[in-house]
Amino acid sequence: MELGYRYFNNQPIFKKIIIINVIIFLLPLVSNTFLFLFNIPQINIIKFFDLHPNFEQFIMSPWSIITYSFFHLDFFHIFWNMFILYVVSDYFLSFLDNKKFLEIYFYGVISGGLLFIFSYNIFPAFENSFSPLIGSSAAVYSLLIFVCTYYPNTSINLIFFNVKLKNLGLFYVLLSLIQIPFSNAGGNIAHLGGALYGFYYARSFNSSDSPFDFIINLINNVKIKPNENRDNQKNIDIILDKISKSGYESLTKKEKEFLFKNSNKD
């Protein structure tokens, strides 16, 4: 038990979230197996944590606006969510910290849940539909669209070809939008809710007019305090030269942290 706790405690934040999701996914399956073997009626514990579109049910279980995101329908549901989360987190945590990661993750959960509830109570198509919502897709979309908006021109390799992140983000948003009439309407609406928050956060980051304005301001304001030595200035010159040649995204995490540490903070 102690070894497991140490292992968990030493993992980066996104792996902790993945581990928690996997454990919560497996627990009902394992417990129901033992209940079946002892001929005890199986319990659907998910119904206590999923998010219902009915306002009255939601008011009776307000915690569900968060807890719904920790439960998944089947293996492929959790696999793809955790896979995208793993890939996106590599980009995200190369620049931003755990606090912002959790903020975007859980506000994405809430935004997706709220859009799901409002949509099911506003649009006539859902008048007689009360299917509950589960899954971490809204949180994953929030992080994904944040990264795609924040690093729009960064290209990633998709085995056979390269694609810019802004095009990948647009593809996922359009995919969720056009799938609403055909399948998993509630889930796709939650995707869009999470995506909206990720886009909003990226566009308003540091109150900049553009996601990259803060980088320009940072570079322009980099100064060395009088008591710092010449080595720091030399390192900053090297980093700025690297940015001018290869762009900000070419920096390592250590170089980004060094640049922030030595920037002028007003």
The structure's pTM equals 0.74
Within 8 A by CB and 6+ apart from 201, the residues are 103, 104, 107, 142, 146
User: The domain containing residue 44 runs over which residues?
Assistant: 2-206
At residue 251, what are phi and psi to the nearest 5 degrees? -70, 150
Query: Are 12 and 113 found together in one domain?
Result: yes
Query: Are 168 and 254 found together in one domain?
Result: no
pLDDT at 97: 84
pLDDT at 218: 47
pLDDT at 243: 62
Domain assignment of residue 97, yes or no: yes
Residue type, 151: Y
Instruction: Decide which of 164, 181, 206 is a domain's last residue.
Output: 206
> What does the alpha-carbon distance between residue 117 and residue 110 come to, in Å, rounded to a whole number?
11
> What does the alpha-carbon distance between residue 74 and residue 87 come to, in Å, rounded to a whole number?
21
- CATH number, domain with residue 141: 1.20.1540.10
Query: Are 134 and 239 found together in one domain?
Result: no
What is the enclosing helix (H) or strand (E) of 155?
Answer: strand 155-157
Number of structural domains, the chain?
2
Domain assignment of residue 232, yes or no: yes
Report strand pairing: 162-164 vs 155-157.
antiparallel
Distances in Å between the alpha carbon of 73 and those of 80, 116, 134, 201? 12, 17, 7, 29
DSSP secondary structure of 10-30:
TS-HHHHHHHHHHHHHHHHHH
Query: Are 170 and 45 found together in one domain?
Result: yes
> What does the alpha-carbon distance between residue 246 and residue 240 come to, in Å, rounded to a whole number?
10
> What does the alpha-carbon distance between residue 50 and residue 70 come to, in Å, rounded to a whole number?
9
Domain assignment of residue 117, yes or no: yes
pLDDT at 5: 74
pLDDT at 245: 60
- The length of the chain is 266
Q: Are 255 and 242 in contact (CB under 8 A)?
A: yes
Rounded to the nearest 5 degrees, what angle is found at the Cα of 248, between the Cα atoms of 222 and 254?
Answer: 75
Q: Find tokens 């010159």 and name the residue.
A: 237
Distances in Å between the alpha carbon of 132 and those of 59, 118, 139, 191, 234? 14, 13, 17, 15, 58
Q: What is the pLDDT along the chain (266 residues), one digit of tens a residue?
A: 667 778 888 888 999 999 999 999 999 889 889 888 988 887 788 889 999 999 889 999 999 999 999 999 899 999 999 999 998 887 778 777 888 999 999 999 999 999 999 999 999 999 877 789 999 999 999 999 999 998 888 887 777 778 888 999 999 999 999 999 998 999 999 999 999 999 999 988 754 444 444 444 544 554 444 444 556 667 766 776 666 566 566 677 777 666 666 644 43
Q: Are 133 and 50 in contact (CB under 8 A)?
A: yes
- CB atoms inside a 10 Å sphere around CB 7: 11
Domain assignment of residue 121, yes or no: yes
Q: Are 166 and 138 in contact (CB under 8 A)?
A: no
pLDDT at 32: 87
What is the enclosing helix (H) or strand (E) of 253?
Answer: helix 253-261
Q: Find tokens 């506000």 and name the residue.
A: 107
> What does the alpha-carbon distance between residue 137 and residue 140 come to, in Å, rounded to a whole number?
5
